[in-house]
Each structure stands twice: as C-alpha cells, then as structure tokens.
Amino acid sequence: MHHDNESFDSFLSSSFDAFSAASALASAISSPTTTSSSSSRSASSSAKNQSNDEQTLLRNEIDNISVDTIEPLINRRKALLRSKQFSFSKNKKGILGFDIIDSDDEEENDEDDYDDADYFPLSTPEGRDDYLTGLTKTFHESKSVHQNEYDVGSDSVEVRDLDVYTMNNYQLRELYLKAKYADQKGDSQLSKALLNKLLQVTPNDTRVMRRLARLEIQGKNYHRGREILQNGLRVLPNDVNLLHGLGQLERKCGNLNKAREYFKEAIQACPTVPNPYHALGTLEHSEGNIRASTTVLRTGLKLCPSNHRLHHALGDLYRDAKMLDMAEKAYLRGLKCLDVDSASKGIQMDWSRSFFYTAMSYLSYDRDDKETSRRWLKKSIALDHNKMHAQGWLGLAQLEESEGHIDTARKIYQQGLDVYEKQRGIKKFKASSRSMLGRGDRVKPPKLGDRWLDVYESLIRLEEKHGDYDSANNVYSQAATAFPRNWNILSSWARFQIRNDNHTRARTLFELACRRAGNRYVLLGLLCDLHIIHFACCKIY
Amino acid sequence: MFLFYFWSFSDSDPFRIYAEFEMSLSNYRRARSILFQGAQSSSESSDGSLYNEKLSHLYHTWAVCEWQLGNLDRSEVLFDHSLRLTDAGTRGSDTRSFIFLSIARFLFHARKDFALAQHCVSLALTENTRSKASWMLWSKIANIMGNKTLSFACIQEADKISAKTRVENRDTLESVNNKNMNHMLRQAPWHYKIVDVNEKSWYDAINFPDDDLNFTEETRDSTQLLQETVAIHKK
C-alpha cells in the first residue's frame, strides 16, 4: 500500500502531460453542427398555423386510425415493388440499403416502449434472386437466433466471432432486437458488444448510435458516447434523435447551456417530435426557470397535443407553482391521451399510467387530502402490467413515514422490496452470511430504468433515523447485493460503520468501493472481484 | 465478459472519502497511498484529463495530506493540479473558492507568506463573496500585516454573513439559489418532512493542519475576534 516519494513525484510530473494533451484533444472535439438561435421562434410560428388543440387532437386520432389501416397495404405494395428491383422509399438509406427510421426514443427513463417491427423495412438494393436466396437462408438459419431471443447470457465470446458482414437484413434486425432485449434485461456488456458489431455494418443507423451512446453514458464513458453521437451528426446533421441524445448527454455532464442548445436544435430540426420539448421543459423546470419551461411545454403541446408526457410535465410544473386545479386538468388530459394511445396501439400502457397516478397522489397531498393521496399511490402499484412501480412504493412508504407511521412505512418498504427481490432472483439472507456479497453476481441485473435503488436508500435513511444498527446494516447489505456494481452504497455503508465506530469494517468496505470505482483492478476481471468480495465478507463477519 | 469488463471507467470519490477517513485517524501515510492510487486510477481513465471536479477534490485532499506530512513543495504542486482541473466557468466557482481558501491557509500557516496569502484569499472571495471562513482568514492576515482597519472591516463582513445565514435558516426565499433549486423542485410534497436537505460540503470532512490553531468558524467565534480587534484598534 505504501509508495515511495519518487513514485509520487514522477506521477505528478507525468500526469499533467496527459492533461495538456487531453486539453488539445478537447478543443479538437467540437460540435459539427452550428448553434441554433431561432428554434423557439420557428416553433411558435408553426404553432400559429394550428387552429386549436382539440382540432389537432382529433386530426391526430384520425391519422392514427388511417395509418393503422393503410400500413399493411403499403407493406404489400413495397414487397411487390421490391420484387421488381425497385424501391420507392424516400427515407435515408444505411449502407446495406435499408431505411433509417428516425423515430427512436430510448431515454434512460423512457416510459414508452416503442415497437421495433418497422425497424428494418425490407427494402434492399440486392437483385430479386439474391434477395430470395437470402430470405431462404434466413428462414433456415435464423431459427436459432430467434429461439435465443431472450437467452442473452454472457456469450460475449460468441459475439466477437459474429460475422455481421455476411448477415442479411432479417438477421441484422434480429441482432438489433437481441441487443435491445439484452439492454432491457440489464446485460449492458452484451448489448454494447452487439451494437458495436451492428455499428460496423450500419454506421448511419441512428437507433444503434443512440442506444450505444446511452449505454456508454450509463457506464460513465461520456467521451465515447459523445463521439458516437457527433460522428452520427456529421453524416446526418439534422437528426432529431442524435441532437436530443447529445442534449441528454450534456445535461448529465452538467453542461446545461450546451444541453439547451442541442434541445433547441432538435426542436428546430423537427418541431413535431415531442421528446426535445419534454427534455427542455423539464430541464428549465429543474433549474427554476418556470416561465421558460411553461413556454416550451405549451409550444410542444400545440404541436404534439396527444403526447401524454408533455401533459404530465406541464402538470408537474403547475403543481410546483401551486396551481393545483390547472395541474389536475393537465394530468387528466394526459391520462385521456394515454387511453387513446393505448386503444390505438392495442397495448396496455400501465408503465406510463403509474406515473400519472403517482402525480395525482402528490396533487391530493398538496390539497391536504391524504386519504385520496394514499389511494392513488395504492392504485399506481396495483396495475396489472406494472406492479414494480418503484416511485409508487417509495411514495406510499414515505407518505406513511411523513405521517409518523414508522412501522407501516417499514412494512411497505419491505413488501415492495420482497416483490422486487423475487423478480430479480435475490434470495433472503442474513447480513452475517459470509457469502452475502458474492450472491450479487448471481442475481439478475437490474433492468433498464430501474429506480429501486431509491427505495433501498430511503429505507436505509429510515432505519438509520428510527431503527438500530442491525436493521440499518441489514438493509445496506440487501442494497449491496441487489446492486453489486454500485460503489456508492459501499461507500455510504463504510461511513455508516465509521459513525458506529467499526473502523475495520469501514476499511474493508472502502477498499471494495475503491476496487469497484477504479479501473486499476478491473484487469483482474470478474473472477478476481468475486474472490476479493468473498475475502472481504470473511473479514467483515 | 473479461474483455468488456476491462473497459469500465473510474471514479475518484471513494478513494478521497477513504483517504479522508484515514486522515481523520491521523494515518497520513496510508491516506497518501490511497490518494495516489485514486489519482492514478482516475487519470488513466478517459474522463481523467479534462475538467474533472471529483479528481480536483482528490488532488486538494492529497495536497492537505502532504501539508500534514510536512512536504510543503509537493503540497503546492498538488494545489496547483487541483486548481487546473476545475471548470473554468461559473460551474467551477465553488470548488475554486475552496481551493483558493486552502492555498491561502497553507501560505499563511505553513509558508508565512502573508502577502501571497492575502492575494489568494481575495481570489477566493472573488469566486464566492459569501464565504465566512475567507473573510475571517483575511481579517487574521490583515491583522498580522498591521492593517487593523482592514481586519476590522473583514470581521464586519463575516458577521454580516453569519446574520444572513441565521435569517436564511428560517426558510426565506433568499436561501434559494441554482444549486439547491434542483432539490426543491420536482419532488414529492412530503420530501421536506423526511429528508434533510442541508447537504454537507466535501470541504467540511478534511482534516486541516491549521484546525488545531482554532481557525475554523466553528471553533472561532467571529464576535469574539471582533471584540479583540476592536480592543486592539482602540489601543
């Protein structure tokens, strides 16, 4: 552990050569796009063309119906034209010739689950014979790919051996879906590997770029994420999804002005896409710029009146401004849009519905109607397709805690965590178990957008305040098992041990946290980490 | 799994917190080793070389650790590294203010270079005028340099900040700034009832060598210092 003075000094003298080189590099990396100046102006001028909200809503509904009816016919016509070696699609093409659809929306907190069915429309530059040969081959060979759709274990070695250049469109589509499922199931390494492979053959595919960039950002590799998105922007300078992705990245990095610029550019590039309005509106709201936020969200709603997320964001804004009636109206309008959306798509959108119910419970609490608030929260966690709404469980428990019902709150937390842990395959254990932390790598990884860490943290806070050492220690160990890669929990746990004068335990936990946070040890790989964890647990207990 | 596991990226915060814990137990050599590993680990990552607030905090803690160990030259270099890693805009203002304050404390107590210490404390105040500790230090420096009027004025400023802080603690809108706006908006309505919103600063946990000299605002009451200075001023 000890180092001599020479090694410190040599490190200090050498490290800042790297800093200067990196600074030069940073100046070289600049946005390929120009800064927008009049995005909101153009958006508002377009808004004037709309007669009123209701008419637009109605028109959108009609559009949805007609698209649903006509789409199969269009697909049939496409297939016929394809057989004549002719593609009439006006969309941009990737290098393999399939269309690039610009409707991706894959934020980390995304509430919508978009259908990927139209991801690779079957337009191809190949001849009819080639196409038929490829198709025949696909139906013979793709079975195994399809069968393993949900079996996205750690087969990264196989990924390395994949020859994506010989794949046809269908196989590439399957590969993308595999990457998507891996991402949703929390296997970000496999998803990244597959997406990197896909990016080699489809370098202009914005979906691949967005998802890969988001995974890189999730792994705190911001430079790589930025590189992917900016490379994409060089080819597709006005792509709304890439601009939106860059905005999200800059927001995460704390560069709020840059984030604003990117969101505005995205709005300017395509004023009818709701996501940049939502992102910019919530950014301004978080920063306390209420007026700017209202303007953005209202403009967004004029152009996309059926978007439930914009209604929800506007409702939140009104609620924070204590304009409770207007907030209620906004939430109810959002719920109505959600019903229409749900009916037109034929899918239950319980994920989004839970958020509305939680918002309604906040509203009732603000009106001092705690019973109704409680009812809304219970409703949010009782939906058929979303019993895992972390915010709902958290809200219900915190509501009880705020009312001084500590035992009830504790019970709700544990109930929620039982459901969650059962789903993740985390078995019950006592904190004194030696192999406690080792189990973390055997449980299913958290899914995309998992917010259950907040529930654990809130329970830890409750136990530290109202419980004893053992109860808090147990929750810390539960959280560390559920989120084995998170060093923050270990660091907090160590500080908890310091507060309780357990310095040896604190040291062990700090060392674990450092190993997980630093890349110095990662060369040793997973196996080594497991051994260290096991050794550490033996030391703790 | 091995191949991809290799490309994960590091965070320097746990190293810093661990080192601060060791420093609180006066294990400065152990703390230095931890900080060295943390700096190496973060500098090697792709995020380590640009504006990196966390790494800046780590270098700052390391500088204080070297100061504790009596390696004053190295401490100075580390303070410099720490400053370089802060963001050049207003975002890095808070961190820079703390680092300048530490440098001023270092120059005042370890180097006895009062003129330069005064320069640094004024730089700290340029970044954040509401730092009571900076005004107190400036008062002390001015006092030692024989500028009693300036010393008196600085203590008055420090007192004003204390009074303001007392008022702000009564939930007035004055306490709302951009930093805590995020904690106020888009929260559940019961958030304030159960969560302590007053976060402790990263600067508070560091064990400074001049803490023993009754420097910090907790141990040294500005009113007491004001009385002393007024007495000296009258003489």
Angle of helix A290-303 relative to helix A53-83, nearest 10 degrees, comes to 50
Q: Which residue of B has its CA nearest to A513?
A: B14
Contact assignment for A22 to B49 by CB distance below 8 Å: yes
* Residue-level pLDDT at B229: 61
Return the pLDDT at A119: 31
Rounded CA-CA distance A88/B177 in Å is: 56
Contact B186 A320 (CB under 8 A): yes
Query: Which tens digits make up the pLDDT trace of A195-225?
Result: 888 888 888 888 889 999 988 888 778 888 9
Residue B33 near chain A (CB below 8 Å): yes
Which has the higher per-residue pLDDT, A311 or A131?
A: A311
**Pick from A223, A401, A526: CB nearest B5:** A526
Decide if B41 and A503 are in contact by the 8 Å CB cutoff: no
Size of interface A-B (CB pairs under 8 A): 166
In chain B, % of residues over pLDDT 70: 72
* Statement: residue A344 has pLDDT above 90: no
Question: A288-311: per-residue pLDDT in tens?
Answer: 888 999 999 999 999 999 999 999
The answer to whether residues A124 and A82 touch, using CB atoms and an 8 Å cutoff, is yes
What pLDDT shows up at residue A111?
Answer: 38
Q: What percent of chain A has pLDDT over 70?
A: 62
Nearest CA distance, A274 vs chain B (angstrom): 20
Question: For A64, how many CA atoms within 13 A lie in the half-sphere containing its CB?
Answer: 15
User: Which stretch of A186-190, A297-301, B20-24, B181-185 has the lowest confidence by average pLDDT?
Assistant: B181-185
Q: Dump pLDDT digits (tens) for A53-82.
A: 545 554 555 455 444 445 555 665 566 555
Q: Which residue has the tokens 């196409």?
A: A131
In the 8-state DSSP scheme, what is residue B85? T
Interface test with B, best of A17, A19, A158 (most B CBs within 10 A): A19
CA distance B229 to chain A (A): 39
Average pLDDT over residues A105-128: 37
Q: Higher-confidence residue: A127 or B32?
A: B32
Residue A383's φ and ψ, nearest 5 degrees, are -70, 145
* Least confident window among A3-7, A40-44, A64-68, A258-262: A40-44
Classify the phi-psi angles of A446: left when phi > 0, otherwise alpha if psi is within -120 to 50, otherwise beta.
Answer: beta
User: How far is it, in rounded angstroms, from Cα A164 to Cα A95?
Assistant: 13
Chain A contact present for B98, CB below 8 A = no
The predicted pLDDT at position A69 comes to 47
pLDDT over threshold 70, residue A364: yes
Inter-chain CB proximity B33 and A2 less than 8 Å? yes
Q: Which pLDDT band, with edges at 50, 70 and 90, does A267 fall under?
A: very high
| Mean pLDDT value of segment B67-93 | 91
Residue with tokens 């990884």: A445
**Burial tier of A56 (Cβ tally within 10 Å: 0-12, 13-18, 19+):** middle
> Using a CB-CB distance cutoff of 8 angstroms, which residues of chain B are in contact with residue A193?
4
The residue among B10, B20, B23, B25 with the most chain A CBs within 10 A of its CB, best to mutate, is: B10
Rg, C-alpha atoms of chain B: 20
Choose from B2, B20, B74, B90 for mutation: most chain A CBs within 10 A.
B2
Which residue of chain B has the CA closest to A27? B50
Question: Could you tell me if B11 lies within 8 Å of chain A, comparing CB atoms?
Answer: yes
Share of chain B above pLDDT 90, in %: 46
**Are B13 and A491 within 8 A, CB to CB?**
yes
Subunit contact A23:B38, Cβ cutoff 8 A: no
- Three-state DSSP class for residue A492: helix
Q: Which residues on chain B are in Cβ contact (under 8 Å) with A320?
A: 185-186
* A305: Cα separation from own chain's centroid: 24
pLDDT band of A160, cuts 50, 70, 90 = low
Count how many Cα atoms sit within 13 Å of the Cα of residue A276 in the half-sphere of its side chain: 30
Return the higher-pLDDT residue of A169 and A26: A169
Distance CA A102, CA A91 (A): 9
Mutate which of A12, A23, A528 to disrupt the B interface (most B C-beta within 10 Å)?
A: A12
Q: CA of B165 to nearest chain A CA: how many angstroms apart?
A: 22
Q: Do B36 and A395 touch (CB under 8 A)?
A: no
Residues of B (194-223) whose Cβ lies below 8 Å from A: 194-195
Q: Is the Cβ of A498 closer than 8 Å to some Cβ of chain B?
A: yes
Query: What secondary structure does DSSP assign to A323-335, as a single string?
Result: -HHHHHHHHHHHH
Model confidence at B73, in pLDDT bands (50, 70, 90)? very high
User: Which chain A residues are within 8 Å of B16, Cβ to Cβ?
Assistant: none
Sign of CA dihedral B43, B47, B51, B57: negative
Residue A36, pLDDT above cutoff 60: no
Q: For A391-438, what is each residue's pLDDT tens digit? A: 999 999 999 999 999 999 999 999 999 989 888 888 765 554 344 455
Whole-number mean pLDDT of chain A?
Answer: 73
Q: Could you tell me if B27 lies within 8 Å of chain A, comparing CB atoms?
A: no
pLDDT at B195: 79
Residues A277-287, mean pLDDT to the nearest whole number: 93
Whole-number pLDDT of residue A269? 93
What number is the average pLDDT over the span A132-138? 51
**pLDDT tens digits for A434-491?**
444 555 456 777 877 788 999 999 999 999 999 999 999 999 999 998 988 888 899 9
The whole-number average pLDDT for the span A16-45 is 39
Residues 6+ away with beta carbon under 8 Å from B212: none
Alpha helices in chain B (DSSP H): 2-5, 13-24, 28-44, 53-69, 72-84, 93-106, 114-127, 132-144, 148-168, 178-184, 191-194, 222-234
ipTM above 0.85, yes or no: no
Min distance B210 CA to chain A CA atoms (Å) = 24
Q: What is the pLDDT of residues B139-149, one digit of tens each?
A: 999 999 999 89
Q: What is the pLDDT of residue A429?
A: 59
pLDDT exceeds 90 at position A280? yes
Identify the pLDDT of residue A317.
Answer: 93
Distance from CA of A132 to the nearest CA of B (A): 37
**Dihedral angle at the C-alpha atoms of A40, A45, A50, A53, nearest 10 degrees?**
30
Contact at CB, B1 and A156, closer than 8 angstroms? yes
- Chain A positions touching B48 (Cβ under 8 A) are 18
A511-532: pLDDT as tens digits: 999 988 875 444 333 334 444 4
A17–chain B nearest CA distance, Å: 10
Return residues 380-409 of A near B (CB < 8 Å). Answer: 395, 398-399, 401-402
CA distance A225 to A513: 25
Q: Is B188–A398 a contact, with Cβ atoms under 8 angstroms apart?
A: yes
